[in-house]
Structure 1
Amino acid sequence: MPGYPALPEGIAYGGDYNPEQWPEEVWHEDVRLMREAGVNLVSLGIFNWGLIEPAEGVYDFRRLDRIIDLLHSAGIMVGLATPTASPPVWFRNRHPASRLVDSGGHVVAGGSRHGFCPSSPDYAAASIRIAGELAARYGDHPAVAMWHVHNEYGWANAECHCPTSAEAFRAWLRERYGDVDALNAAWGTVFWGLTYGSFAEVEPPGVAPPGQLTALRLDYTRFSAEEHLACFRREREAIRRHSDRPVTTNFMIPNCKPMDYWRWAGEVDVVSNDHYLDAARADNHIELAMAADLTRSVAGGAPWMLMEHSTGAVNWQPRNLAKRPGEMRRNSLAHVARGSDSVLFFQWRASRYGAEKFHSAMVPHAGTDSGIWRDVVALGADLAALAPVRGSRVAAEVAVVWDWESYWALELEWRPSVDLRFRERVEAYYEALWREHVTVDFVHPEADVSRYRLVVAPSSYLLTEAAGKNLHRYVEAGGHLLVSYFSGIVDAWDAIHPGPHPGALRDVLGLWVEEFHPLPERGTVTLDGPGATGRIWSERVRLSGARAVRSFATGPDAGHPAVTRHELGAGTAWYVATALDPAPDAAGRDGEDLRALLAAVLDHAGVSRPRGLPDTLELVRRGGFLFLLNHGDEPVTVDGVEGTALLGTGPAAGAVTVPAGGVAVVAGPAGEPDGPRSRRADERSGG
């Protein structure tokens, strides 16, 4: 099997290139500018199916031949795409049964991409054919470094509800369950008397009265995700018949909820990801870090590829805010710090036509006499200086549990509170860890977590029995586990685990829950001791081996445990029964907020981290390299750093000063930087 692509030396730099949108004389200008900017890799051919196959079975590769040869002559390598995310108009008209149908049974109109059914046999045949033709022609071309299959699977057609999909779903169920009695048992169809007499009676979920079977909805999400994965596999195999170059597709972590990327990871030769900053979020640099850490984790810790991000504003957010000075550079280098060996953008040259004409680009509408272009050229020089970083890995002592199936299940209808949102708790815990300068991996709940000092499970509503036993073994063997509320509640079919909540985690946590008490909108509770406030949730916790660390002072569970600790074997399991926020409250009181609790748990678990640094500073170690990114408005000095500067000013007397909005990267002596330390080492991080 091919391995990581033979990309240019150093960090790959470039983006999506759509020369078909421009006259040929512009191509030569593009290549000249790419060389000026230090571009060494472009994604090519993503949306040109209708140009290279203008009619079914009729091919015209002349334009693509010329542009690939031109790029090759300039030393620019190509990630060659299969253009199957956007079938031609002739395909839609000739194969009407392939058209996407929404959950209400309406055929989705044309004029956009992703308007096809992923279960369509006509689409399967056509996509295999075009992938094979491309691979046969360009599979050995010296410019082709890798294959980029499709584009953003599941972006707009995560599910199709056409008759073809319905029949494919029934076939998938037969394969999964064997007989309809097993399906009925797993789904709990005795509820409301909805028992099936045969697989033929099963309808896909769609627009229905409230209370549709949750297991039906879960399985349809699983089925739909598998149909997209099958589409990828077909194209990959068509390519491999003609080419030994690595194959990938661009994920959308964490913003494509319907795709379970743990299942995709083993299917690609290198994990690649698209990430777009939410411009309206004040903490969007923390969400970016989370996305990068999750992508690296999906890649099994190996270097990965940032396939798309933006130089400035995007076209599809409610308010398309431009990036502030220095922000594009920090965004790019944060991805590199967290494991990416590429910095690629959508797109090279800003479009004149269509829905994305107001999306920023490396060459903006303003041209080269612009701040964006100057930043693009400067970033190319930065990435050239970071060539030694390529191939190094990020190590973490803390893991955060992330499970797409729990994400799906938690956000189905009729949960105890509309405020129960998967990412809300994950991001709250991640933010607190980020501000404590702790780098994390993400893990599937059934994965081996034995190498981590601490595992945090912020949002594990759906947790299999196997996952529960895995976490129990981890704690008994000396690990430390921190669990948030409403976790371990249901199995893979959204059925309540037997016995009191939290069934799959009851023994490891040493407690059980008598009753949930969701809080009203904007409702709060307080905890005893130094004031701490909880939101969203409260519950009646009963101890069964654990001890109370903090109790509720107000609310429906006043006097009952709010934070617990259970010594089990050689390890410890902690539980938090409300939504503590990741920072002190609006009044600035330094109470027992989530960050303070996490600091205590990190200390108990022996997790090393720098002390006394402002929480506007992002600090990441990647192999023998220390990345320091200052997201604040004041310079920050970091003591205890030795080595050679790749970016920024080198250490002077063991200290590095990172200017406001700036970045420093230091290669440590003997390939490993000394740990940074604060001038105020006795103070808690961020205190």
Structure 2
Amino acid sequence: MNDALHRLTERLGGVAYGGDYNPEQWPREVWDEDMRLMRQAGVNLVTVGVFSWALLEPRPGEYTFGLLDEVMDLLHANGIAVDLATGTASPPPWFSLQHPRSLPVDRDGVRRWHGSRQTFCPSSPDYAEAAGRLVERVVDRYRDHPALVLWHLHNEWGNHNAHCFCDTSAAAFRGWLQERYGDLRGLNDAWGTAFWSQRYGDWAEVMPPRATTAVANPTQQLDFWRFSSDALLALHRREAEIVRRLSPEVPLTTNLLVTLEKKVDGFSFASECDLVSVDQYLTAADPEAHIGLSLDADLARGMAGGAPWLLMEHSTSAVNWQPRNVAKTPGQMRRNSLAHLARGADGILYFQWRQSKAGAEKWHSAMLPHGGTDTRTWREVTALGRDLGALAGVRGSRVASDVAVLFDWNAWWALEMDATPSVDLRYLDLVRGWYQALWSLGVTCDLVHPGSDLSGYRLVLVPSLPLTSDGDATSLTDFVAAGGHAAVGFFSGVVDENDQVRLGGHPGAYRELLGVRVDEFLPLREAESVRLSDDSAAALWTELVELRGAEAFLSFHRDPSLGGPVAGHPAITRHRFGDGVSWYVATRPDGGALRALLARICREAGVRAAAEVPAGVEAVCRRGPDAGYLFLINHTDADVSVPADGVDLLSGTPVSGTVTVRAGDVVVVREAGDRPPVR
């Protein structure tokens, strides 16, 4: 993956910069202005054709490429490279009318109609054939175009149509299950169908988890999520096969949604791309949305195996689809963009270039706003283009990290199925709680799949991993036995890959590693909290922990009125295992307590922050073969001083001893001296 993106940015001559370009929405005379302004802003890459199916095939089998030909030629003449989309994300109205059975059906049996986007069933053979024909024609026509540097498959797979419950999907689901389990005996064992008289005697009896009278079988639900992700992945692979057959020299990607959507397994799609690209949008209502941005960026890097990746979409200011679409404050767009660069992005792109005047996204911000060039956003866009030019040397370098956080879409799906011990168990909340504590400590982490190679890390954190395979549990156990450090959060390791409880006491797959046995889960009531033995607070969850080799680091308060139903019992444990150390966190400590705990664990594991920074200042280091780049991003309203030596690339000034980072500003120091190489 790293080679494909490196070759692309070498061809561009710097960090990729630009966004989605939709010239079909505008009169021809606007295009020349677009070219002039793109050059002024420093744009070198645009995505074209994402929603152009109706333009390219206005009637069945009738293809018209005149407009796209002109756009491709115009961009090339102005020195702007193209990420060309296959156009399959939005079937035109004629397709839906010609193939009504291709329209998706929800779990209540209601068919969804055309009039938006992604209005197709992922298992529809009619869609697959029509999309395949379009891809063939587009790739064959433009594979040798000099503007082309990247193929863009589909758009945000599964964002709106991941789950279809129609009869076609039901038949495809049965086929997927037959391949997974072989026979009905295997299915019945995996699904535990002895419960509630659900045993299947014929494959025709097996259905998707449509709306029913009570709680649907949890493993049936889990397998349907897996199947649905795989159905979309099969479409992705079909497009990829066509691209690689006809245009093998041009890399391909698709824009993944990181934590914006949990419907598809991002790791499986990332492995099918030549380079990883993602979309990331802030949650406007969150005053610390920049931390969620960092989490998504670190997950994108984990999906890329530690290699640089491409930010395919984010926003210059407000989006159009949140309840309250708050605009970004002055300087926020710059901080957001450079935070992505700090965390491994070698390209910064937006949706979109020119703000639409019609349609569902007309209030979504863009690089060129409705107000044109006499706007704050435009001035910030052009200034950022200059900044990225000064940071061209950063591309190709890797982010330095000694910490891995295990992240798994299957565990996310399993945790949020029906009938878990507490409705308050939300996967992203648990992961982000630990991540935010690390972020506040200035510690950089990679979010990686549980099956990844962990040998290069000092510390592995498992905030939440309820569903754990034997192989993934063994991987973590071997890591600690060989001298690594690990910390595991509550309700992890409790079920296997079929969502069946691991018997013999919790935390199941991790009992031996952690040196504890959990007798019973005791989730707390809404808004209820307990105190720990150091008088810190905890919430959400408690459990009755028995020590089986571990020692209690903190206990629940001995006073039952403060410690709850597990007063005096271990709350956080530490266990020497092999040559390493494992920790178990049997509750959710408040922010300060969790931060202090992870600070202690990091110190013990030999993990250091990228720099000594005050609260609210982000510090990340990227390392290349010849230099290190320290990114310092000040999210506060006060100037700060940070130890550093080298040259500030954005101002060109030398840095000796310390550097001042102004309120809301960013400094990137090309460091003097050597740092340890990236693992």
**TM-score in terms of structure 1 length:** 0.95
**For residue 557 of structure 1, what is the aligned residue in structure 2?**
566
Matched, 1:313 2:322: no
* Superposed CA offset, 1:271-292 (max 9, x none): 0000001111011111100000
**For residue 678 of structure 1, what is the aligned residue in structure 2?**
none
**For residue 255 of structure 2, what is the aligned residue in structure 1?**
250
| Conserved 8 A contact 2:40-2:382 | yes
Residue 466 of structure 1 and its aligned partner are, at CA, apart by 1.6
| Conserved 8 A contact 1:562-1:577 | yes
**For residue 591 of structure 2, what is the aligned residue in structure 1?**
582
SS of the residue aligned with 2:377? helix
**For residue 618 of structure 1, what is the aligned residue in structure 2?**
618
Q: 1: distance between equivalents of 2:447 and 2:364?
A: 31
Q: 1: distance between equivalents of 2:363 and 2:588?
A: 39
Residue 407 of structure 1 and its aligned partner are, at CA, apart by 0.2
* Superposed CA offset, 1:293-314 (max 9, x none): 0000100011100000000000
Residue 674 of structure 1 and its aligned partner are, at CA, apart by 12
SS of the residue aligned with 2:523? coil
Q: 2: distance between equivalents of 1:652 and 1:220?
A: 55
Aligned residue identity for 1:356: E
Matched, 1:122 2:123: no
| Conserved 8 A contact 1:347-1:361 | yes
| Conserved 8 A contact 1:515-1:539 | yes
How many corresponding residue pairs?
664
More off after superposition, 417-426 vs 646-655: 646-655
| Conserved 8 A contact 2:610-2:620 | no
Matches within 5 A, 1:41-440: 41-243=45-247, 244-440=249-445
Residue 6 of structure 1 and its aligned partner are, at CA, apart by 2.2
Residue 551 of structure 1 and its aligned partner are, at CA, apart by 0.7
* Superposed CA offset, 1:576-625 (max 9, x none): 11101223xxxxxxxxx000111111111111226752121100001111
| Conserved 8 A contact 1:625-1:672 | no
| Conserved 8 A contact 1:620-1:626 | yes
Residue 404 of structure 1 and its aligned partner are, at CA, apart by 0.6
Structure 2 alignment gaps of length 5 or more: 558-562
Aligned residue identity for 2:58: P
Change (3 A) 1:664 1:648: farther
**For residue 656 of structure 2, what is the aligned residue in structure 1?**
653
**For residue 495 of structure 1, what is the aligned residue in structure 2?**
500
Q: 2: distance between equivalents of 1:251 and 1:103?
A: 25
Q: 1: distance between equivalents of 2:32 and 2:447?
A: 44
Where has structure 1 moved over 6 Å in runs of 4 or more?
A: none
Change (3 A) 1:372 1:316: same
**For residue 19 of structure 1, what is the aligned residue in structure 2?**
23
Residue 470 of structure 1 and its aligned partner are, at CA, apart by 1.4
Q: 2: distance between equivalents of 1:308 and 1:369?
A: 24
* Superposed CA offset, 1:404-450 (max 9, x none): 10000000111111111111110000000000000001122222212
**For residue 455 of structure 1, what is the aligned residue in structure 2?**
460
Matched, 1:478 2:483: yes
Change (3 A) 1:673 1:364: farther
Q: 1: distance between equivalents of 2:436 and 2:265?
A: 23
Q: 1: distance between equivalents of 2:79 and 2:230?
A: 38
| Conserved 8 A contact 1:398-1:441 | yes
Matched, 1:604 2:604: yes
Aligned residue identity for 1:124: A
| Conserved 8 A contact 2:613-2:619 | no
**For residue 560 of structure 2, what is the aligned residue in structure 1?**
none
SS of the residue aligned with 2:258? coil
* Superposed CA offset, 1:350-388 (max 9, x none): 101111000001110011100000001000000011100
SS of the residue aligned with 1:613? coil
* Superposed CA offset, 1:77-107 (max 9, x none): 0000011110011111111111111111111
| Conserved 8 A contact 1:668-1:674 | no
SS of the residue aligned with 1:91? helix
Residue 472 of structure 1 and its aligned partner are, at CA, apart by 1.2
SS of the residue aligned with 2:632? strand
Q: 2: distance between equivalents of 1:202 and 1:546?
A: 45
Residue 671 of structure 1 and its aligned partner are, at CA, apart by 7.2
Residue 209 of structure 1 and its aligned partner are, at CA, apart by 2.0
Change (3 A) 1:130 1:297: same
SS of the residue aligned with 1:351? coil
Residue 652 of structure 1 and its aligned partner are, at CA, apart by 4.0
**What is the alpha-carbon root mean square deviation over aligned residues?**
1.5
Aligned residue identity for 1:362: M
* Superposed CA offset, 1:493-530 (max 9, x none): 1100121111100000001011111111100000113x
Q: 2: distance between equivalents of 1:72 and 1:672?
A: 41
Matched, 1:446 2:454: no
SS of the residue aligned with 2:503? coil
**For residue 542 of structure 1, what is the aligned residue in structure 2?**
546
Residue 402 of structure 1 and its aligned partner are, at CA, apart by 0.4
Of the three residues 663, 667, 674, the one matched with 1:664 is 667
Aligned residue identity for 1:170: R
| Conserved 8 A contact 2:415-2:425 | yes
Q: 2: distance between equivalents of 1:273 and 1:351?
A: 22
**TM-score in terms of structure 2 length:** 0.96
SS of the residue aligned with 1:229? helix
Q: 2: distance between equivalents of 1:223 and 1:81?
A: 25
**For residue 6 of structure 1, what is the aligned residue in structure 2?**
8
Q: 1: distance between equivalents of 2:609 and 2:106?
A: 49
Q: 1: distance between equivalents of 2:134 and 2:107?
A: 29
Change (3 A) 1:80 1:612: closer
SS of the residue aligned with 1:220? helix
| Conserved 8 A contact 2:505-2:518 | yes
Aligned residue identity for 1:42: V
Residue 14 of structure 1 and its aligned partner are, at CA, apart by 0.4
